[in-house]
Structure 1
Amino acid sequence: MSPEYLSVKPGFGGLEGTYEEAKVVFLGIPLDSTSSYRSGARFGPSRIREASLNLETHLMSLGVELAEKGG
């Protein structure tokens, strides 16, 4: 069983696509070496991806669907 912070999570905002198709790539690196007193920074990248699933992708005021622009 692999550590939780290394498990595969959905992409940012639930957007799907391949690396080759991407216009922008965000790379999350799970690293705890700079933490003092308490570890846990390694969970940051996966938690950001997890929280991004709650973002609205349709901007009604602009009439833009972000999934179509960035996916």
Structure 2
Amino acid sequence: MKPSQLQLLINISITASFKCCVCLSAYIYIYTQTYTNIYRHLQTYTDIYIHIHTSTDIYRHLHTSELPKHGC
């Protein structure tokens, strides 16, 4: 899976998950930072794929990440 494909999956999942703009903006920032750190740490596309394993794990991660409560 190339980073562009991974990003597309992330975009689709977060758009479907968050209807609140504040939640969505905060989540995009948090996840982008996480993804960038994973990429820098592992260095290669292959290692990213091995680390993440499957799109199911990505989906699970997207839906279990915690965001600050602000009363959306």
Q: TM-score range by the shorter chain?
A: 0.3 to 0.5
Query: Is the helix fraction higher in 1 or 2?
Result: 2
Higher relative contact order (CA 8 A, sep 6+): 2
Using structure 2 for the length normalisation, give the TM-score.
0.37
* Structure with greater Cα Rg: 1
Using structure 1 for the length normalisation, give the TM-score.
0.38
Query: Is the strand fraction higher in 1 or 2?
Result: 1
